[in-house]
Structure 1
Amino acid sequence: MDRREQMGMLNTFIGGTLWGINGVMGSYLFLHKNVTTNWLVPYRLLIAGLIMLMYLYYKNKSKIFDVLRDTKDFIAVIIFGILGMMGTQYTYFTAIQYSNAAIATVLTYFGPTLVLVYVCLRERRKPLKYEIVAILLSMFGVFVLATHGNITTLQISFKALVWGMLSAMTLVLYTVQPASILKKYGAPTVVGWGMLIGGLLSTIFIKPWKVDVIFDFTTFIFFIIIIFSGTIAAFILYLSGVTMIGPTKASIIACIEPVSATIFSSIFMGIKFGFLDILGFVCIMSTVFIVAIFGKKGKKK
């Protein structure tokens, strides 16, 4: 393993860990500072988008506006900003609001299974054997996590389950919809505009300033960390890791996100998880490994 690959793995690992911590910080603000999704998501996207685009303008000057000059691409970015960027962030943090960072993150990781189902439908083919195993494992994991095997009761709130599933669905849009513009303009530019557009529109329509938040020094520090560490730094680190080691290894290493969310939820939030919770986590997360490893083998053949 050369130095470049080691650096790529480290960047991806840190990026995924920061995403997990980011969710725990959001959970803390929800519980102790009267923060809601309607306050956190609009401001987070708006400020992070502005900072990222300013940085990209410093590096690339007017090239960042190329995506706005093509009508078709501009519409695609708007859709990505609303349904992809704002959609994933809003549903994810709402799931945290009704449960905790660990459960919300794991439910969001049901998204790759939905992407797999979408690909099979789009290509009008039956899923391969390993794809069937991944789908069944993922569904079983959600079932165990939500019910602990008892179909008459829910172990997490119904709202948490619904918003977690919506988070997984919006992850499909986030993954599939911007494929063409990502290739054309690059991920940082598309994500930067997506954040800005999603943040601007959500700020206008949600009106986060109406939320009565306890905005003290702790809230300010956590909010700044969420923007710079959990949003900008995490994305840049993960993206640089993908370029160094490829998407297959990066997707596997990024599974540290729900692990870190679980560990930090236990340490800092005092949340306890039982055997069946862990079993559900493992079943859902294992699908990422299955698809990444066997999918790569299938491409080689």
Structure 2
Amino acid sequence: MKSTKTFIYGVLIGVLAVTMFSSKAVMVKLAYQYEVDAISVLLLRMLFSFPFYVFIAFLYRNKGNDNAVQRKDFVWLVFFGFVGYYLASYFDFVGLTYIKASLERIILFIYPTIVLVFNKWFLSKPITKIQVGAIILTYIGVVIAFWDEVAISGDATFLGGIFIFLSAVTYASYLVGSGWLIPKFGVVKFTSYAMLVSCVCVFVHYGIINKISLLSFPWQVYGYGFLIAIFATVIPSFLVSASIKMISSSNFAIVAGVGPISTIVLAAIFLNEKLTLLQCLGAAIVIIGILFVSLKKETKN
């Protein structure tokens, strides 16, 4: 009975975490209504997140297998923090200036297919015929949703889609490349360090290209920046870890399918975004394909 309750709680925590993560795109779009650019909103996200990850990194400084960590491992950690959390986030925020939040989540949700391809190319891990079919199905869904939006919103959708796809690619490369480092540092410690690297990268980026004072934004923008940092970044990152611990990563892959759905619902409520029937069909195909890819991947491992 206890294990059943634990599983139920784990699923509920997972749904909450995925929904909170999915709210990021909606809050970013809400912040854009006040005529701020992508790097400014990303800066506020990292600025408000920074103290929490400093505190977490301090708490976990003695965790992990420190004897196995070498100097070159820190170099790789900086690289993956740059690619996986800075570049991926920046591409995502820029892409959201061009496309709807619901479409962003549909495109971004394909990153597990890219992980499979990278594992095949760089780690020689086989891809089964069933997985190939699931990948093809997924991209058919993306094309259906994407092309229908192009017909409605115009060519700017192409640029937004490219940036979101680059976000998925960079995040997938982070997942593939950092796998061997995480056991050395520990999950929480590695994530905290990588997030701190990305925070510094964003601070430097903003300092170089932006001439706008950090204190010149409307108060609503600071509010959204805080909400994105706390409720769509810090808290759900720990809820995901808790959920996976309670229900396993393979079951969490099923729960993750709530992501695009929750974004579509939140975008409809707060942004008045509406998907056409074709876009809903594309989203459904993407979700089915990715869930199948994820489940097959977990079974394989």
Using structure 1 for the length normalisation, give the TM-score: 0.88
> What is the alpha-carbon distance in structure 1 between the residues aligned to residue 188 and residue 16 of structure 2?
18
The match for 1:38 is: 39
Structure 1 residues 26 and 128: CA distance shift in structure 2, 3 A: same
Other-structure match for 2:271? 269
Residue 22 of structure 1 aligns with which residue? Answer: 24
> What is the CA–CA distance in structure 2 between the aligned matches of 1:68 and 1:47, rounded to whole Å?
32
- The residue number in structure 2 matching 1:122 is 122
Tell me the amino acid that sits aligned with residue 98 of structure 2. Answer: Y
Structure 1 pair 149/20, CA: closer, same or farther in 2 (3 Å)?
closer
For 1:120, give the aligned amino acid.
K
Contact 2:69/2:185, CA 8 A, preserved across alignment: no
Matches within 5 A, 1:1-301: 2-30=4-32, 32-57=33-58, 59-60=59-60, 62-63=62-63, 70-124=70-124, 127-148=127-148, 157-207=157-207, 210-211=211-212, 215-298=217-300
SS at match of 2:181: helix
Q: For 2:65 and 2:201, how far apart are their aligned partners in 1?
A: 19
Letter in 1 for 2:136: L
Distance 1:276 1:177, change over 3 A: same
Deviations 1:140-181 (A, max 9, x none): 112112213999x96761111111211111121121111122
Contact 2:88 2:167 in 1 (8 A): yes
Q: Is the 8 A contact 2:110 2:286 kept in 1?
A: yes
Counterpart of 1:189 in structure 2: which amino acid?
K
Compared CA separation, residues 229 and 67, structure 1 to 2 (3 A): farther
Q: Following TM superposition, by how much is the alpha carbon of 1:14 offset from its aligned partner in structure 2, in angstroms?
A: 0.5
Q: Distance in 2 between matches of 1:80 and 1:125?
A: 21
The SS at the match of 1:2 is helix
CA contact (8 A) 2:103 2:146 kept: no
- CA spacing shift, 1:211–1:247, aligned 2, 3 Å: farther
Q: Give the total of aligned pairs.
A: 296
SS across alignment from 1:98: coil
Code of the residue aligned with 1:136 in structure 2: it is I
Q: Deviations over 1:250-277 (max 9, x none)?
A: 1220221211111111111111110111
The answer to whether the Cα contact below 8 Å between 2:144 and 2:282 also exists between their aligned partners in 1 is yes
Q: CA deviation at 1:28?
A: 0.7
In 2, the alpha carbon distance for the partners of 1:123 and 1:175 equals 13
Write the distance in 2 (CA, Å) between the matches of 1:120 and 1:215. 45
Unaligned runs of 5+ in 1: none
Q: Which runs of 5+ in 2 are unaligned?
A: none
What's the secondary structure of 2:180's corresponding residue? helix
Q: Helix, strand or coil for the counterpart of 1:85?
A: helix
Q: CA deviation at 1:42?
A: 3.1
The CA RMSD measured in Å over matched residues stands at 2.7
Moved more, 124-133 or 245-254: 124-133
Whole-angstrom CA distance in 2 between matches of 1:280 and 1:115 = 21
2:35 counterpart letter in structure 1 = N
Conserved? CA contact 1:147–1:154, under 8 Å: no
Identity %: 20
Compute the displacement of 1:85 (Å).
0.9
What secondary structure does 1:180 align onto? coil
- Sort the Cα spacing of 1:69 and 1:298 in 2 relative to 1 into closer, same or farther, 3 A: closer
Structure-2 separation of matches of 1:261 and 1:295: 25
Q: Residue 192 and residue 47 in structure 1: after superposition, are their counterparts in 2 closer, same or farther (change >3 A)?
A: farther
After the TM superposition, which of the residue ranges 184-193 and 74-83 deviates more from structure 2? 184-193
CA deviations 1:226-247 (Å, max 9, x no partner) are: 1111100010101111111111
Note closer, same or farther for the CA distance 1:150–1:104 as it changes in structure 2 (3 Å cut): closer
